[in-house]
Structure 1
Amino acid sequence: MELPSALYVPTADGFTATALTIGPWDPGLQHAGPPAALLARAAERASGIAGGQTVRLTYDIFGPVPVGPVRITTSVVRPGRRVELVEAVLDAGDGRPLMRLSAWRMRTRTEGLPAAVAGSAPGAPHPAPAGVDGSRGEEAAFFRSDVAYHKALEWRFASGSFNSPGPAAAWTRPECTLVEGEPISPLEHLLVMTDAASGISAVLDWSTATFANVDLSVGLHRPPRGEWLGMAATTVLGDSGAAQCTAVLFDAEGAIGRSTQSLFVEPR
């Protein structure tokens, strides 16, 4: 089966989503991971800090994003030479916002810092129970379309599973680019992946309940590096129709940050 080479194809005034963006709930709606990455790309391009690092990304998901044309507008809410706040908003061509990103960016600095600041704390254990080579490949069984979001990344599970409930830790590698004709950056790869934290750590049956997230927040103490990135995720179900998913994000060198998601839970 030949897959699209990218999640999005550029158009005159935006992008067109390919089938690799299709989410698990409806074949006409995107998984939130690809548009989250597209918004992060836009925020970095709007940045006034050349070569800076994005340290916090907070997404509000106002409504489902259809598989089709999308547009993004950006603004620098708080400009600065050392620290700035960039906002990016995605719509489906009608001006109604569907997702909004608020991204804090900082100047990159390596000189004059303690040695431990440049990476993980000395001796800190890696968040993944096993490395890439010791993890098993797996595909999600709950997508309705053969070509959908689950094919955009190669998945290898160090613990847990897509297809059984409970916490899970998984490595991923891109199987496509974000935008046609461009290489995918490690940060873009991270955002394509991270919204699936609540999927790999699901505590409810996909066939009987929905648990879509209304937000996504990612905090990074350093940029992601390398081809393989991963997350160790846990979802906790409340008793009033809400759930929370948290994940530790990592690359081959160790932890890079954390993510959180608020889930709206209801019967299918």
Structure 2
Amino acid sequence: MADAFYLPDPADPNRFVSTELTRGPWSPDAQHAGPPSALLGHVIERCEPRAGFQVGRVAVEILGPVPLEPLTAQAKVVRSGRSVELIEATLSSERGPVMRANAWRLKLAEPALDLPMEFLPTGHRSMPTGTEPAMFPSTQTIGFHTGIEYWFRTGSFSEPGPAVCWVRLKYPIVAGTMPSPLERTLAAADSGNGVSAVLDWSKYLFINTDLTVTLHRQPVGEWVCLDAVTHPQPHGIGMAESALFDEQGPLGRSTQTLLLAPRG
């Protein structure tokens, strides 16, 4: 088994070979949206990097199933500025674009703002310790579920409803690199609709068409916590939202628009 979600192509710096670790729960030939979202974050952070700037929001549009094939990831600055800039990134297969993302990169305050203590990070969720990680209910031997660890504080995959779940990458997004805080967060945040599922996996699909992550600070450590809830509606449109935390406290929020439909 590969030791990363993607392998860089030595002949093309924009091309990445997808490994089996990217496989999602809906089809053996399609990726979970977490790894390609993190891959978009990977190229966004490397796009004309500027010292003293940090990504504050990433909005990912999922244009269709992401095939388990080599992908081309490209990013460019489309709106530059002294304090904020907008970056666009595209992920494409041989058949064309499969995901797009917009990211706002903001200038960090220097010196740091003198804020009241109430606005500073404080511990909020207990870290995983001394407990076996949860196993994702998948029929696939290798996939995203084997490339990460889930650790539930409340809820579970077999218990429908809201959940508080810690998520950790077991492998780098791109081989030969260390996952950045943004990559870890994007990979984890796309599991919000899975950990807080309210519909029976065997009877329904609840596929997200997008992922928006807003961060007011970067996570610390390997684990990202999702305090997640799913809101289904009988007309077939739903939403999942997650409050994001690390060991030091709140990080931001993520949302996903969901297509709900019977299987088969």
One-letter code of the match for 1:139?
M
2:147 is equivalent to residue 152 of structure 1: yes
Q: After superposition, what is the alpha-carbon deviation per residue over 1:129-170, rounded to whole angstroms, capped at 9, x for unaligned?
A: x332276521111x2211100111122111111232111111
One-letter code of the match for 1:54?
V
Taking the aligned partners of 2:151 and 2:171, their CA distance within structure 1 comes to: 16
- Paired residues of 1:37 and 1:188 also in contact (CA < 8 A): yes
One-letter code of the match for 2:134?
E
Task: Indicate how the Cα distance of structure 1 residues 158 and 134 shifts in structure 2: closer, same or farther if over 3 A, else same.
Answer: farther
1:36 is aligned to 37
Shift of 1:197: 0.5
Aligned-residue sequence identity (percent) comes to: 42
Taking the aligned partners of 2:87 and 2:226, their CA distance within structure 1 comes to: 25
- Paired residues of 1:48 and 1:80 also in contact (CA < 8 A): no
1:101 is aligned to 101
Task: Indicate how the Cα distance of structure 1 residues 247 and 112 shifts in structure 2: closer, same or farther if over 3 A, else same.
Answer: closer
Aligned residues: 260
Shift of 1:248: 0.4
1:225 is aligned to 220
- Paired residues of 1:71 and 1:91 also in contact (CA < 8 A): yes
- TM-score, with structure 2 as normaliser: 0.93
Q: Of 116, 121, 133, which aligns to 1:137?
A: 133
Shift of 1:224: 1.3
CA RMSD of aligned residues (A): 1.8
Task: Indicate how the Cα distance of structure 1 residues 217 and 135 shifts in structure 2: closer, same or farther if over 3 A, else same.
Answer: farther
Shift of 1:44: 1.1
- Paired residues of 1:48 and 1:81 also in contact (CA < 8 A): no
Superposed counterparts of 1:108-257, under 5 Å: 108-116=108-116, 121=119, 126=124, 128=125, 130-133=126-129, 137-141=133-137, 143-257=138-252
Task: Indicate how the Cα distance of structure 1 residues 123 and 35 shifts in structure 2: closer, same or farther if over 3 A, else same.
Answer: closer
Greater mean deviation of Cα atoms: 179-188 or 132-141: 132-141
Q: After superposition, what is the alpha-carbon deviation per residue over 1:182-230, rounded to whole angstroms, capped at 9, x for unaligned?
A: 1111211111111011000001111111010001101111111112211
Shift of 1:239: 2.0
1:69 is aligned to 70
Taking the aligned partners of 1:101 and 1:18, their CA distance within structure 2 comes to: 22
Task: Indicate how the Cα distance of structure 1 residues 19 and 51 shifts in structure 2: closer, same or farther if over 3 A, else same.
Answer: farther
1:179 partner SS:
coil
Shift of 1:231: 0.8
- Paired residues of 1:49 and 1:81 also in contact (CA < 8 A): no
Taking the aligned partners of 1:125 and 1:176, their CA distance within structure 2 comes to: 26
1:167 partner SS:
strand
1:178 partner SS:
coil
One-letter code of the match for 1:70?
L
Q: After superposition, what is the alpha-carbon deviation per residue over 1:28-62, rounded to whole angstroms, capped at 9, x for unaligned?
A: 00000000000011111114423421101001111
Q: Which runs of 5+ in 1 are unaligned?
A: none
